[in-house]
Structure 1
Amino acid sequence: MAQDGSDAFAETLAELAERRQEFRERRHVPRDFVDRLKGLGLYRAATLFPIQQATPTERGFRVSGRWKFASGCMAADIVCVGIPGDDATSGKPRGALVRPGRLEIVQDWDVVGMQGTGSFDLIAKDVEVDREWTFIRGGEPVIDEPLYRYPAITYAAQSLSVVSAEQNAHLRLSAAYLARTSSEVVHRIVSLSGTAAIYRDHPLQALLGDVLVPQEHAFLSPAMYDAAGAVFMGLPPTVPSFR
C-alpha cells in the first residue's frame, strides 16, 4: 500500500483544522463559543453528508444516523457530523461537534487507494448535542475579517483569502481538473513502463489506486464542471455547498 497519498491527505486535514474546518465553526458559531474553541489544539475530522436526522430538545438536538467518509476520525479529538437545518438556518444544514467516544466508528474503509486515510463511517444513536456545539453550514460569518471570508470548501485553493463567486468557480474547476490530470499522468507512466508495471507488487499499482480515489471525491467530481458552468452563466450552482 502506498502511504504517500494517504499521509499527505491526513496531514492536510490536520493542518487545515485551524484553517478549513475551524473557519466554518469560527465563522458561524456564537462568538463566545468561538473564544472557548481557541487554543484547545484539537485534531478534528468531519463528515457532513449524508445529512442525518436530529430531534430538537430543550438543550439542543438528539442526533442519530450514519455518516460516510470521516477521514482521520480514528485520531480525532472531535468530529463534525451533518444534521438538518430549520427555519432558523434558512434551510442550510447544521454541523454538530461530537466527541468520537460518543459515536461508533465502523471500520469499513476497504478501498483500492488512499487506504491510510481511514475514512470510516460514523454512527450516532440518540446522541444529545448542545445547541452551542452546532453551527450553520454556509451561514453568515460571525467574524468579519478577510481570513474568515475565505471560501471554506475551496480548501485546495490556498492563494486567495477573499474571492468572488466566479473566482470560486474557477478555483473549484482547477481543483477538479488537477485531480483528473494527475490520474492521467500516472496512467501514462504505467503505459510506458512495460510489463513490469502489471504485477501487483509493482509500486505503480499502488499509485494507480491512490490517483483513482481523489477524483471521486464530492468536491473534485465531474459535477464541479456543471456547477461552475452554471455560475459562469449567472445561475445558482447545481451542487450543494459549492461555495
Structure 2
Amino acid sequence: MAPMIAARAADTEAQRRLPADLALQLADAGLFRMAVPRELGGAEAPPADILAALEILGHADAATGWCAMIAGTTALAAAWLPPAHAVAVFADPRAITGGVFAPMGKAIADGDDYRVTGRWAWASGSANCQWLIGGALIFDAGRLRTLPNGAPDHRMMFMPASDITLIDTWDSMGLRGTGSGDMAASDVRVPQDRSVSFLTDSPRHPGPLYAFPPFGLLALGIAAVASGNALAALDDFRALAVTKKAAGSSRSLAERGTVQAEYARAEASLHAARALAEATVARAWHEAQTGCLTTDIRARLRLAATHLTRTAAEVTRTAYDLAGGTAVYAGHPLQRRLRDAQVATQHMMIAPPTWELTGRVLLGLPTDADAL
C-alpha cells in the first residue's frame, strides 16, 4: 500500500484528515488491528512487526502512519476490556478506534456507570472512528478518587463516536493530514466496566504482547513513524542530490565533499538510533515472553523512543538544509517532511521530560514505574 499512500500524501494534507476511503483500505488491510487479540480477529503481532509496519507507513506519509499508530495503540486496550465489551467494540473487522489517553475529562461514578464530561485535544484520526476513548479523572460523591500512592485515579472511557462532538481545531504546522482536532463529551453514560486503566487493571488476555509495556509501545509507535519519515527525507534528498547543481557549478550536490560528509553523518545518526530501538524492543519482548519485565527495560524503551524521534527530526532537518532553496516550496516533499518531523516531537510520550524520567531510573533513584 505504501506507493498509493505516498501518492495521496498531498491530498491527505490538503484535507487535514485521513481521507475516509483511505482509512477504509487501511482497516481492510488490518493495519488498525495489529495489537488486537487474535480471538477478536486481530493480528496480536509482536511489537517489532507493529513498529516495522508503522515505519513503512511513516515513510510513505507521516500523517497516515500517525493515524495508524493512534488507532493501533488504542486498540491495544481490547485485551483489557471484559469479553462482552471487547466484542461490541472490536468484532467488526472494519471498526476503527481512536481518542486521547490523557485524563482531560471528568467521570462521575453513578451506579454501574460513569457520567463522562470533558474536552480532549489531539484526537488524531477521530473523523474515521466508530469508538473513541477519553481519559478521565474519577470522582465519587464529588471527591476525586486517588490511588494508594496518592495520585489521582483515571481511566480510559470507551464511548461511541455518535456520543462525541468533534471540533475542528486542527490548523497545524505539520502532520496536517492527521485530523487531530478536539473531541468533547457532555454527560455521556459509560458502563464502568467499559473503561480501562493500564495502571491499575490487568490484561484479560495472556499473550506476551499484553505484558509488553503499553506506554513503551505507544512511545515507540511515535518513534517508528518519525523514523520512517526521516528515512524518506534521506531518500528524497538523495534523489535530488544526484541531479541538482548549485548556481555556477558543474558539480551536482552529491559530488560536493561537504554534502557527502553531512549526509553520511545523518545516515549514521538515524541508523544508530534505529538500532538502539530495535535492540531494546528485542530485549523487552524477551522479558515479556518470560514474565520478567524490569523497571530498567521499561525506562530504556522510553529512552530509545525519545532518542529515535528526536534524532529523526534532526536528520530530517539536515536533509532539508542540504537541499537548499528547492525544499522550501510547498510541492516538494522535504518541506512537508520537515514540518511533520517537528510536530511529532511535541507528543508528551517523547517530550523532553522523558529524559529526566528515564535518567532517574538509570541513575538508580526511586521512580514511579507506573509512568513508564
TM-score of the superposition, structure 1-length normalised?
0.86
Q: Find the residue that maps to 1:140 and give its secondary structure.
A: coil
**How far is 1:190 from its partner?**
1.9
Distance in 2 (alpha carbons) for counterparts of 1:88 and 1:177:
33
Q: Which residue in 2 is equivalent to 1:236? A: 367
Q: Which residue in 1 is equivalent to 2:308? A: 178
Letter in 2 for 1:130: P
Distance in 2 (alpha carbons) for counterparts of 1:235 and 1:88:
21
Gap change, CA 1:200 and 1:142, over 3 Å in 2: closer
Gap change, CA 1:40 and 1:92, over 3 Å in 2: farther
Matched, 1:219 2:276: no
Q: Which runs of 5+ in 2 are unaligned?
A: 1-8, 13-60, 140-144, 221-276
Matched, 1:56 2:113: no
Q: Which runs of 5+ in 1 are unaligned?
A: none
Give the root-mean-square deviation of aligned CA atoms: 2.5
The one of 17, 24, 29 equivalent to 2:77 is: 24
Greater relative contact order (CA < 8 Å, ≥ 6 in sequence): 1
Q: Find the residue that maps to 2:156 and give its secondary structure.
A: strand
Letter in 1 for 2:367: P
The one of 198, 212, 216 equivalent to 1:150 is: 212
Distance in 1 (alpha carbons) for counterparts of 2:114 and 2:193:
10
The one of 334, 337, 346 equivalent to 1:207 is: 337
Alignment deviations for residues 40-83 of structure 1 (CA, whole Å, 9 cap, x no partner): 43210020224322222123111111011111111111011011
Q: Which residue in 2 is equivalent to 1:80? A: 133
Distance in 2 (alpha carbons) for counterparts of 1:190 and 1:152:
33
Distance in 1 (alpha carbons) for counterparts of 2:296 and 2:187:
41
**How far is 1:34 from its partner?**
4.3
Aligned length: 236
Alignment deviations for residues 93-137 of structure 1 (CA, whole Å, 9 cap, x no partner): 111100111111001111011111111111111111111211223
Gap change, CA 1:198 and 1:148, over 3 Å in 2: closer
Is the Cα–Cα contact under 8 Å of residues 83 and 96 in structure 1 kept in the other structure?
A: yes
**How far is 1:200 from its partner?**
4.0
TM-score of the superposition, structure 2-length normalised?
0.58
Q: Find the residue that maps to 2:105 and give its secondary structure.
A: coil
Q: Which residue in 1 is equivalent to 2:67? A: 10
Letter in 2 for 1:211: A
**How far is 1:203 from its partner?**
2.6
Alignment deviations for residues 21-45 of structure 1 (CA, whole Å, 9 cap, x no partner): 3433423x44554465563432100
Distance in 2 (alpha carbons) for counterparts of 1:22 and 1:195:
42
The one of 80, 98, 101 equivalent to 1:45 is: 98
Moved more, 116-125 or 42-51: 42-51
Letter in 2 for 1:39: A
**How far is 1:219 from its partner?**
0.7
Q: Which residue in 1 is equivalent to 2:199? A: 138
Q: Percent identity?
A: 25
Distance in 1 (alpha carbons) for counterparts of 2:181 and 2:340:
17
